[in-house]
Amino acid sequence: MADSTHLIPPHGGTLVDRFVRGEAREHARERARDLPRVTLSERSLADLECLATGIYSPLSGFVSEADYTSIVRDMRLADGTVWSIPITLQVREEAAAHLRVGSELALAGPSGEVLAVMELTDLYRPDQIEEVRRVYRTDDPKHPGVAAVMEAGNVYLGGPISVIAELPKGEFDHYKWTPAETRAAFAERGWETVVAFQTRNPIHRAHEYITKTALESVDGLFINPLVGTTKSDDVPASVRMQCYEVLIDKYYNKEKVFLGVYPAAMRYGGPREAILHAISRQNYGCTHLIVGRDHAGVGDYYGTYDAQRIFDELPEGGLEITPMKFEHAFFCKRTQQMATPKTTSSSPEERVHLSGTKVRALLASGQLPPPEFSRPEVAEILVRAYRAQAEAQSARDLREQPA
């Protein structure tokens, strides 16, 4: 394996690995059979994977009450380490009634298989309204991040986890890399500086422009799409992955790009989630993170560049990864190339920018967005996906019609 010791250190200094192996794993599996059981939601299952593999280093489990309070109020763990969103395990009162601090519990996946054992060090009932107002800057139940918190249960369980089984397989496993693996891959390629691009959307021309601009300053580009739970109207991950593959194949220098999925669920936490994304990418071995307009945003809950400004609020040395801040990019008709407000004085009428709503309307009607906005191969994949979705919906509507 290539030497990765010259890469940026993980957040907090230690890359966490919470998998139990060998005989200890078998003993833990035996013990887990008699433990109280909590079934994980999709979001908690994604968090378990991020905790176990070190994506959320230095966390070793779901956060304690002390860490939770410090994160919510000060964006720090209790020991002062920068952390922006509490990684919590929430349950309802009835599920918590039989749990006792100081004991262990088994964490089960959706299929019922026990995946991990958790040492229950904390059981607490925090002020969830304060949490969402500070973390998401709103208590509006229409905000998807707020809704997820308020619906998951008011009892929080904290403590270190130990994974004792194979985590559930997914359709993107061939693109799933642990931080230890990405660090080895970057080192093998001789990359000392790597810029990460977080995305939950297809990459259009504006994204392509800023990623390539960023790549001019570093050794490699890590395209790291989020494939955990997203809003129902976001483009499905399976469709997005096809777009990334064809785009990298045809329009990037493949020797300088690494594609790997980010298994976390989307919280739509705007500025605070931008910090979490930066921490995760530092753990993957990236030295830089692209932070564009409305990073991790939703609706109009955050200012256009709030996710960039929050990095300026961190203490000196709080993060070692560096944000690369980009303004909104577009195709400029005057200069006949991609640009940002920094690089052109063109008028708004000379700039090709389509809203997500407009793009979805075009795709739903079978029309390709203009080539200045999207590469035709990407647009064609999206049109096929929207057409298939529309046909499936029509078939469902027919079945549901009264006889």
Are the CB atoms for 158 and 63 separated by under 8 Å? yes
User: Residue 323 pairs with which residues in a beta bridge?
Assistant: 289
Alpha helices in 152-269 (DSSP H): 179-188, 205-215, 237-251
Based on the residue annotation, tell me whether 33 is a catalytic residue of this protein: no
Evaluate whether 83 touches 75 at the Cβ level (below 8 Å): yes
- Cα–Cα distances (Å) from 179 to 157, 159, 275, 301, 310, in that order, read 26, 22, 17, 32, 25
Choosing from 25, 134, 154, 201, the catalytic residue is 201
Which among 73, 64, 63 is positioned nearest to 133, based on CA atoms?
Answer: 73
**CB neighbours of 392 closer than 8 A, spacing ≥ 6?**
none
200 annotated active-site: yes
CB burial of residue 221 (10 Å; 0-12, 13-18, 19+): buried
CA distances to 95, 151, 364 from 380, in Å? 47, 37, 12
| Closest C-alpha among 317, 237, 314, 269 to residue 135 | 269
Amino acid at position 291, single letter = V
What 3-state DSSP class applies to 267? coil
Q: What angle do CA 29, 33, 35 make, to 5 degrees?
A: 110
Ramachandran category for residue 168: left, alpha or beta (phi over 0 → left; psi -120 to 50 → alpha): beta
Question: 13 exposed, middle or buried (CB, 10 Å; 0-12, 13-18, 19+)?
Answer: exposed
Active-site hit among 137, 200, 351, 375? 200
| Three-class DSSP labels, 35-63 | CCEEECCHHHHHHHHHHHHCCCCCCCEEC
Per 3-state DSSP, what percentage of the chain is helix, strand, and coil (rounded to 5)? Answer: 40, 15, 45
User: From residue 24, how far is each of 39, 163, 378 by CA, in Å?
Assistant: 23, 11, 47
- Is residue 370 classed as helix, strand or coil in its secondary structure? coil
Please list the active-site residues.
200-201
